[in-house]
A and B are shown apart, each in its own frame.
Chain A
Amino acid sequence: MSVASVTVSRREILKPKMVKIYVMGREYLVPEGLTIHKALEYAGFRLIRGVGCRGGFCGACATLYRKPGEYKLRIALACQNVVEDGMYLVVLPYTPIPRVKYKLESLKPDVGLVLKLYPEIARCVACNTCTKACPQGLQVMDAIQAIKRGDLAKAADLTFDCIACGICSMRCPAEIRHANIFHLVRRIYGKYMSPKPRHLEDRIKEIEQGKYREELEKLKQASVDELKKLYASRVIEPEE
């Protein structure tokens, strides 16, 4: 009885499975398992827009896509999400949100001030489009409604992981500038509402009172050999 032996060349084994993606309407065959950015580069695109840290943190590469036969519009980050068969995608190069100028020192933890700088918050109709558009899976509508309720602390907490990709603002029917608003709220929270680190304040006071001045002067005057000796004999994990 002969066992049919099939010789498979090394090339065949190593050849990856290919998937079809449609970039701005044009079909490309790319290996599965690549991130969208890598797939675009495989297809011959040189990335100069809609690309940044490539680590899921800067918010530059927000991508919109649909699968054939579905109406749902989906969001991905091009540097993190892998290609799927049948993806119709576009990587957005930019979201227009010019900065509103304010002085953090002259603000208070008061909702009235946030409304004055970004009055469009009052137009929110609670449609939830922003939450559905977030690639980080944040509760965006809850954060805006928390601001409307006056709960700045909750809004700061809910938006901690926001990478300011801007898709929520693009899709919002009330034209709310989410990313900048959340940035402002987190800054207000950090400066005026979060508990102060006592040990840091104590240390700063000690430095201002000159507790470490003498030691620092001695080190500045010391020769290179003395410094080397001090460094070699330092205690790596002090007991106190």
Chain B
Amino acid sequence: MINVKMLYYPGCSVKRNALEYEKKTLEILSKIGIEVYELDNWYCCGAFYSLAKDDLMKHIGGLRTLIKAQVQARKHGTNKLLTLCPMCYNVLKRVNHMLRENPENLDTLALFMDEEEKYTIGIEVLHLLEVLRDNIDKLKRLVVTEVKDVVVAPYYGCTVLRPREIAFDNAENPEVMDNILRALKIEVIEFPFKTECCGAYQSVFNRKIVFEKSGEILEEAAVRGANIITVICPLCKYNLETTLLSLGKKLRIEIVYLTDLLSRATGP
């Protein structure tokens, strides 16, 4: 099997709250022939891309990650950087894009970070969904169990497909996750709330917002007959699960990471 190599950036939440997400993902990736190398001594990317035009300081976390990837890309012979968390993907891809469009920002930052090597904008930031989509044939061949009694509502969240410059699928009606699940013969419902915001960081600021938004997503999924919602983001999972608990388990729905379900279908 031809092995594709990739660098891997976990992000702070995967390593702390979502270890099972990482474990199942690495299993699936090794089954389809992708070898990942976790970045050495990686830094927090900042979780949200800073939108102000003059604010370069907030991009430094992302830039340092990209420079580390650049150094280790030479060691491992690959310039692809895989991310699991869609917020990390969002930040890193947009920082990459911003530096390419504004080389004077790159110069200013290089002058400030005078002890690191200069970033040459050579890293390709990828999200797990893209990688799975590109290997969908290999996934099809790996199906060993038919996952029965499972009706899935795929949930994408906000940050993996917006804004347009980082999207790898239609932001209004994405089909990436749906196709991956269908390829593994898992039943998928049509879910119009698949890109509706779960409430994001309002879970630590204004929890009422999260309960209402996540509550709507859960109820819509239940009404359409789903018993599983697949997620790709640790924060979305936390928001949906805490809302589910607060509804007193009236809804028979389970929140599951996408690769967990894929793992069940492709056997141990």
Give A residues with C-beta under 8 Å from B: 111, 124-128, 141-142, 145, 148-150, 173
Q: Is the CB of B42 within 8 A of A149?
A: yes
Q: Is the CB of A126 within 8 A of B15?
A: no
Q: Is the CB of A145 within 8 A of B57?
A: no
Q: Is the CB of B41 within 8 A of A142?
A: yes
Residues of B within 8 A of A111 (CB): 16
Q: Is residue B46 within 8 Å, beta carbon to beta carbon, of the partner chain?
A: yes
Given contacts A148-B12, A149-B12, A150-B16, contact A125 B46 (CB under 8 A): yes
Nearest residue, chain B, Cβ from A132: B115
- Among B16, B42, B44, B115, point to the contact of A124 (Cβ < 8 A): B44
B contact residues, range: 10 to 19
Q: How far is the CA of A111 from the CA of B12 in the complex (A)?
A: 11
Given contacts A111-B16, A145-B44, contact A128 B113 (CB under 8 A): yes
Given contacts A142-B41, A145-B44, A149-B42, contact A126 B16 (CB under 8 A): no
Q: Is the CB of A126 within 8 A of B12?
A: no
Nearest residue, chain B, Cβ from A146: B41
Q: Is the CB of A126 within 8 A of B42?
A: no
Given contacts A142-B41, A148-B44, A149-B42, contact A125 B61 (CB under 8 A): yes
Residues of A within 8 A of B37 (CB): none
Give B residues with C-beta under 8 Å from A: 12, 15-16, 41-44, 46, 57-58, 60-61, 64, 113, 115
Nearest residue, chain A, Cβ from B65: A126
Q: How far is the CA of A111 from the CA of B46 in the complex (A)?
A: 17
Residues of A within 8 A of B61 (CB): 124-126
Q: How far is the CA of A117 from the CA of B15 in the complex (A)?
A: 21
Q: How far is the CA of A148 from the CA of B115 in the complex (A)?
A: 23
Q: Is the CB of A126 within 8 A of B41?
A: no
Q: Could you jot down 21 A-B contacts, CB within 8 Å?
A: A111-B16, A124-B61, A125-B60, A125-B61, A126-B43, A127-B57, A127-B60, A128-B115, A142-B41, A145-B41, A145-B42, A145-B43, A145-B44, A148-B43, A148-B44, A149-B12, A149-B15, A149-B42, A149-B44, A150-B16, A173-B57
Q: How far is the CA of A223 from the CA of B16 in the complex (A)?
A: 63
Q: How far is the CA of A150 from the CA of B239 in the complex (A)?
A: 21
Min CB distance, A110 to chain B, in Å? 9
Nearest residue, chain B, Cβ from A145: B43
Min CB distance, B260 to chain A, in Å? 21
Residues of A within 8 A of B42 (CB): 145, 149
Residues of B within 8 A of A127 (CB): 57, 60
Residues of A within 8 A of B58 (CB): 125
Q: How far is the CA of A128 from the CA of B44 in the complex (A)?
A: 13
Nearest residue, chain B, Cβ from A110: B16
Nearest residue, chain A, Cβ from B41: A142
Residues of A within 8 A of B16 (CB): 111, 149-150
5 new A-B contacts, CB < 8 A, other than A148-B12, A149-B15, are A125-B58, A126-B43, A148-B44, A150-B16, A173-B57
Min CB distance, B135 to chain A, in Å? 29
Residues of A within 8 A of B12 (CB): 148-150
Min CB distance, B115 to chain A, in Å? 8
